[in-house]
Structure 1
């Protein structure tokens, strides 16, 4: 990019004098004496190569060259002022663009209250929200295609990313409403041993998948998975058709399907974590704004033990 030929102080002095057409008033607006103002104008005219003002006793006016330069100079200064304001807003975290990835089940817990709180505090920020499972979120954070992730079961250690647990949930059994186990208030996990299972593929969230299969292993069996679905909404829909049963985070109760029953399980000792994730050393002030919003707004209406841990993983 070519270096601008016109220094901003000279351009500013020219615009003010063109508006006032009086050296005394223009100098007063600029907060300088008349001789420095005259010097600025002379330097600018030297750069242009032509006089910008006609000077007569008691009167000055724009020359044709001055009239040509004036609207462009005003436009340039106005755009620069707007750009400086925008830069300050983005730098302070009051404006800008934030790209958020979220797991579908998080839309049933953390996401709605977070977005409401963030929008109230930062109405000028553009939000770009993308639904994706945990593994793609981790990749998108590393590739810098999202800035914040809301995911389940973050890895215990990561060289590039930081995590903060925002919610913990129990697991529940997901059953067809007509299933014999649905008549129980609490379902022993070992009694699910002979049932076909519908689960998310392990690839979309290995830690969560392993938690579910470990629950079964601890009860003495390996789940017979006959169907996979990438989203919990689809898992529940397949359960409703009678294709199998499932184990899911308790927030999945919020998926209302007439033919699906959700029941507590026994033993009820395993918890799944929802976490916010971001890149280590990311200087984007909007990251801090999201963490602040999460600090102030707990998920609403969730009947789990899920309190915030408030501890960040490093």
Structure 2
């Protein structure tokens, strides 16, 4: 099957984007077809580059949960696909998938291995973008890791300014949870990141508070307190709450939970949602009450009502985090567009 046809199919995946590395695979294919007289100008490792394609196929099989469905998606027959995965397992000397008449499922080894495959695909995607930008004359590549809250306001404004003032810098965004920021920055997976990290970050990293704000309380429009002009913390003690889990944003959770404790109650958390926008959606459906950053008031639909809380201090710090040990003029230029002093 033609290689371009394979990647048109791979491009349709919802979760794993393989179109980005077709140029890499093309290079590998040409390398494998070189005449015997051709030699690498430098020593190469013993890595078998067929593994790259097999990793892609493995990811599709994992996503589909079936060799048959994966083969259909890839528009190839099942036996060659199965053979490729068998060869991958033999080469790696591990069993990645358990086969059964009902499909496949990951072994414990496969579960541990899949995130590394996904990381590889993400890195390959970044490489492909970089190559395209270099060919197009846009030589500066900056990747911002950002929480959803930052992607709604700070990142779009930053990208617009950079495009206007520094057209040779290309800015990309990667969705990230606050809890992942320090590791992602330290490992150079992103140029810098924006999230709720507080003022204290791990040694070697640097941070800058972009905004410190108060929370507001969000009620559904049918809630009795939605029509009350003045809200106090005492009014909120009996509420059922929609929070974001501490596992994805410890500082954000601790700030809001701490305010409740300071004001004499432990919040009854009924639901935990992955983002502020999901909190808002649940409140709109009458599923509980939420504390959200006051800057989100502009995005609240009619089905919900936001109210300030008396005697509330600003505790929610949206922070930019970067690694000063990594020298990058382009990164610093983008940070300055955010108002960060570097």
> Which of 263, 269, 272 does residue 313 from structure 2 map onto?
269
Q: Residues of 1 paired with 2:168 and 2:335: CA distance?
A: 18
Q: Are residues 1:206 and 2:250 paired? A: yes
The answer (yes or no) to whether the contact 1:103–1:133 under 8 Å persists in 2 is yes
Alpha-carbon shift at residue 186 of structure 1 (Å): 3.2
Matched, 1:281 2:325: yes
Seen in structure 2, the aligned counterparts of structure 1 residues 140 and 184 have a Cα distance that, compared at 3 Å, is: same
The alignment status of 1:2 with 2:41, answered yes or no, reads: yes
Displacement of 1:101: 1.0
Matched, 1:144 2:183: no
TM-score (norm 1): 0.63
1:183 to 227, 237, 241: 227
SS of residue matched to 1:204:
coil
How far does residue 311 in structure 1 lie from its aligned partner after superposition? 7.2
Distance 1:119 1:185, change over 3 A: farther
Structure 1: 5+ residue stretches without partners: 4-82, 296-309
Aligned length in residues: 212
Contact 1:199 1:235 (8 Å CA) reproduced: yes
Q: Give the strand-richer structure, 1 or 2.
A: 1
* SS of match in other structure, 1:187: coil
With normalisation by structure 2, the TM-score equals 0.58
The answer to whether the 8 A contact 2:241-2:267 is kept is yes
Q: Deviations over 1:56-80 (max 9, x none)?
A: xxxxxxxxxxxxxxxxxxxxxxxxx
Superposed CA RMSD: 2.3
Residue of structure 2 equivalent to 1:78: none
1 or 2 for the larger relative contact order (CA 8 Å, sep ≥6)? Answer: 1
Q: Is the 8 A contact 2:201 2:207 kept in 1?
A: no
Does the alignment pair 1:249 with 2:293? yes
1:156 corresponds to 2:200: yes
Partners in 2 of 1:244 and 1:120 — Cα distance? 43
1:266 counterpart SS class:
coil
Alignment of 1:76-115 (within 5 A): 95-115=139-159
Question: Is the CA contact (8 Å cut-off) linking 2:142 and 2:172 kept in structure 1?
Answer: yes
Secondary structure of the residue aligned to 2:286 is coil
What stretches of structure 1 move > 6 A for 4+ residues in a row? none
